[in-house]
Amino acid sequence: MKGKCALVLLGLILAIHSLSAQVSADCASAIPICSDTPVNGGTQGFGVDDFNGASETGCLEETSSGAVESNSAWYRFRTGASGELGFNIGFDTDEDWDFALYKATDCNDLGEPVRCNFFDNSDEEAYMGVGEDPTGSTDTVLYEKWLSVEPGEDYYLLINNFSNTNSGFSIQFTGRIFETNPDDALDCSIIDNLLGPPVVACDNETFVLDADTDDANDYSWYRDTGAGYQLLSGETASTYEVSQSAMYRVVVGLDDGSSIVSDVQVAFTEAPTSYLASDETYCSDEGYIDLSQKDEEVLGPQDPEKVRVSYHRSLSEAMEGINALPREYPLMIGTETIFARTTSMENSGCFDATSQFELTVGSSPLVNFETDVYICESRDAIVIGDLTPNPDYSYAWNTGADSPSIGITEEGTYSVIITNTADGLNCSKTVNVEVVVSLAPKITEVIIDDLRPENSVEIITDITGEFEFRIDDGPFQPDGRFTNVAPGIHTVTINDRKGCGQVTETITVVGYVKFFTPNGDGVNDEWEIVGLDALEDPLLHIFDRYGKVLRVMDKSSLGWNGTYEGQDLPEADYWFRLSYIDPRGQRVEAKYLNAHFSLTR
C-alpha cells in the first residue's frame, strides 16, 4: 500500500462467512457497518432485484440470473467526518466480483452509482474497490478513484458475484479520513444493538462483550461456530471475555419477566510477526537500498500475500503505519535505524512493529580528475590520476603503482581502485582512465570553389581528431568550410583542440572557366584567370599535355584565344601553373589549384 493512506480495519472473517447475520441480498435490509464493524461476505443464490427489471445500473450489466443482481450482498454506511474515503474488497483470485456504490438515503431512489466496477478478473487480482490496491499494484483495473465525503452522507454498497460461485469476500475501509478522524470517520449510530456492532480483533488479544442492562436479573451467553447457538455453561455475568471467532448471543432476563436477545459477530484475525532483520552496510555511490530485499527476513515463514511489510524512520511512525519509506530508499551518509512493520492484509489493525535494523552508509571516494585523456604523438609522457589527492584515500593502479597519479607514455585503459579509509568502512571505487593518442593535424586537401558570386573554401584532413578550423585571422570553427571568400592569398589553419599542435597552409583564390570555345561567336572565345589583380606580380604559364609552354601571361595580359604562333590549337585538355610574389618577397607557386581546363571547338 502506498504511504499516502492508512488502512483502518472494518475487517472480514471468511472462516464464518456462512453466517447470515452479515449478509443481505436486499437493499431494504442492507447490513449497517461502521468504523469498528467487521464485514464478512458469502452470498448464496440470486439476490432480490432492486432495479425493477432494469438490465443495467451504472457499469453493472444483466447477469445469468436475468437481472443485474447475482449472488448479491448489500451494505450501508454513513460518514461521520469529511475527507478521503475508500475501501478494499478482498476475495479469491479465481473469482469474479463486481460492485456499485450509491450515494442515497432510500433504496427506492438509488440513482446512478458514484463508483462502479464491472471488469472481469482475468488478471487474478485479490482486491477490488475504491482508492488503492493494498498490495501496491498500480496496473489493476479493479479500482476506482478515491471518494471525497462530508459528514452525514448515506451510502449503499452492492457487491455482486458475476460467476455465481464464491468463497466469500472481505471489506476493509481506507483513506486519510481515518488518519484525521480515527474514531468517527463513519457514524456508528446507524447500528442499534445491545452488544454493539460486530467486533474484529487480533488473535493475540481478547475482547469483552458487555451486556450490562438496568433491571436485569440474569444473563445467559451462547456461541455459534456454524452449527447453531450452544449455551456457554456457567457464563452468567453481564460481561463475557471472547477469544474465539464466532457469533455470540446474550439473553438478558428482566425483572418484569421479559427478556432482551442480542447477537453479535466477533472475529479474530491472525496477528503477524516482525522477524529479526540483519544490519546493512552500503557505500554512498550505490545510490539507494532496495528495501524490498529485506522483506524475506522480516516476514520469515509468513505468506507475503497475507502480510504486508513497510519500513519507517521512527518507531512511532511504524506503530501508526504512516510515512512508509519508498522501496528504493536513497542512501544518506551515516547510520540510521530503520523500523519494520508487518501488517495483516485482512486487518490492518493487526500488526507488529518490533523489528528494526541499522543502515550504515559510508562515503565513497570522490573522483576529481580527468578520465578521458589525450596524449600527443610527439610527447614523451603525461601524468594521469589524482593531482590533488585526499589523504584518507588509498590508490591501487593496474600497473602496480600505489600513488595517486602515474606517468604514462602509451595509450590504453588504465584503472585505479580508490578506497576511502576515513570511516573504517573502506568504500572503494574503480575508475578507468582512457588514454588516446591525439595525432597532429594535417591538411590533406583544400577544395576551392571559385569563379562564383561567393567563392568557398573547404579544408580537408584525413586525420581523426578533435580539430577546429579557421581562415586567415578569423575565429576558429568546428568545420572546415568557409564561404564568401575574397580572391587573393589566404592562410588556412587546423588546430588540435587537445593541444597537440596546428598546421597552416597558404592558398590562392582565383577564378577560371573549366572550358572555352574559341570559334569567333563572341561567347567564351578566350580563356583567362579572374582575380589576378589580387596577387603581386602574377605569372601564368599555359602548357600542352607534353609540357610545352604555349603562353605566358601576367596581370596586364589579355586572355588566351587557343592559338600558338598564330595557329589554332586542336581540341584538347591544357594545363597551367600560377606563381606570384608572397608577403615575404619570394616567388611561390599557388597550391591546391586544379590547373586544368579544356579547349572545345
* Together in a domain, 34 and 173: yes
Residue 147 C-alpha cell reads as 471518494
357 occurs within a structural domain? no
Q: What is the pLDDT of residues 19-36, one digit of tens each?
A: 334 567 889 888 888 765
pLDDT of res. 393? 96
344 occurs within a structural domain? yes
Tell me the C-alpha distance between 397 and 404, whole Å.
9
Is the pLDDT score of 394 beyond 90?
yes
* Together in a domain, 550 and 451: no
* Together in a domain, 19 and 109: yes
Residue with cell 589554332: 568
Tell me the C-alpha distance between 237 and 258, whole Å.
18
* Together in a domain, 46 and 129: yes
484 occurs within a structural domain? yes
pLDDT of res. 510? 82
Q: What are the φ and ψ backbone dihedral angles of 175, each rounded to 5 degrees?
A: 125, 165
**Least confident window among 49-58, 291-300, 364-373:** 49-58
Q: What is the pLDDT of residues 492-537, one digit of tens each?
A: 999 988 888 889 988 888 878 788 999 888 888 999 887 788 889 9
228 occurs within a structural domain? yes
| Pairing assessment for the beta strands 280-283 and 351-362 based on DSSP bridges | parallel
Q: What is the pLDDT of residues 300-339, one digit of tens each?
A: 999 998 999 999 999 999 998 889 999 999 999 999 999 9
433 occurs within a structural domain? yes
* Together in a domain, 28 and 140: yes
366 occurs within a structural domain? no
The domain that contains 493 carries what CATH number? 2.60.40
Provide Rg for the chain, Cα atoms.
46
Q: Which of 135, 169, 190 is the last residue of a domain?
A: 190
How many Cα atoms sit within 13 Å of 430 on the Cβ side? Answer: 4
Q: Which of 420, 438, 456 is the last residue of a domain?
A: 438
pLDDT of res. 494? 94
Between 226 and 103, residue with greater pLDDT: 103
The domain that contains 238 carries what CATH number? 2.60.40.10
pLDDT of res. 357? 98
User: Given pLDDT bands bounded at 50, 70 and 90, which one contains residue 37?
Assistant: low
* Together in a domain, 473 and 526: no
Tell me the C-alpha distance between 444 and 455, whole Å.
20
Q: Name the residue among 594, 579, 589 with its Cα closest to residue 448.
A: 594
| Pairing assessment for the beta strands 456-460 and 307-312 based on DSSP bridges | unpaired
* Together in a domain, 216 and 228: yes
Q: What is the pLDDT of residues 83-134, one digit of tens each?
A: 999 999 988 888 999 999 999 999 999 999 999 999 999 899 999 999 999 8
Count of domains observed in the chain: 6
* Together in a domain, 528 and 455: no
156 occurs within a structural domain? yes
3-state per-residue secondary structure call for 318-338: HHHCCCCCCCEEECCCEEEEE
pLDDT of res. 46? 63
Q: What average pLDDT score do residues 274-286 get? A: 96
Residue 465 C-alpha cell reads as 581528431
| Residue-by-residue DSSP string for 256-273 | TS-EEEEEEEEEEEPPP-
Query: In this structure, what DSSP letter does residue 233 have?
Result: T
* Together in a domain, 161 and 40: yes
Residue with cell 585538355: 573
Q: Which of 415, 438, 461 is the last residue of a domain?
A: 438
* Together in a domain, 37 and 186: yes
* Identity at 177, one-letter amino acid code: I
How many Cα atoms sit within 13 Å of 165 on the Cβ side? Answer: 4
How many other β-carbons are positioned within 10 Å of the β-carbon of residue 395? Answer: 19
Q: What is the pLDDT of residues 232-258, one digit of tens each?
A: 999 999 999 998 989 999 999 999 888
* Identity at 104, one-letter amino acid code: A
* Together in a domain, 72 and 176: yes
pLDDT of res. 40? 61
Sign of the dihedral through C-alpha 160, 165, 168, 172: negative
Residue 211 C-alpha cell reads as 451486556
2 occurs within a structural domain? no
Is the pLDDT score of 38 beyond 60?
no
Give the E-state strand segments of 175-227 in sequence order.
199-202, 207-210, 216-224
Measured in Å, how far apart are the chain's first and last C-alpha atoms? Answer: 92
Burial group, residue 53, by CB count within 10 angstroms (0-12, 13-18, 19+): exposed
Q: What is the pLDDT of residues 441-463, one digit of tens each?
A: 888 888 877 655 578 889 999 88
Q: What are the φ and ψ backbone dihedral angles of 295, each rounded to 5 degrees?
A: -55, -45
Q: What is the pLDDT of residues 129-182, one digit of tens each?
A: 999 998 888 889 999 999 999 999 999 999 988 876 777 888 888 898 988 888
User: Given pLDDT bands bounded at 50, 70 and 90, which one contains residue 485?
Assistant: confident
* Together in a domain, 428 and 505: no
Domain span at 335: 280-352
Is the pLDDT score of 4 beyond 80?
no
3-state per-residue secondary structure call for 7-41: ECCCCCCHHHCCCHHHCCCCHHHCEECCCCCCEEC
Residues 472/461, Cβ–Cβ less than 8 Å: no
Three-class secondary structure of residue 517 per DSSP = coil
Residue with cell 589525450: 374
Between 590 and 341, residue with greater pLDDT: 341
Query: What is this structure's pTM?
Result: 0.57
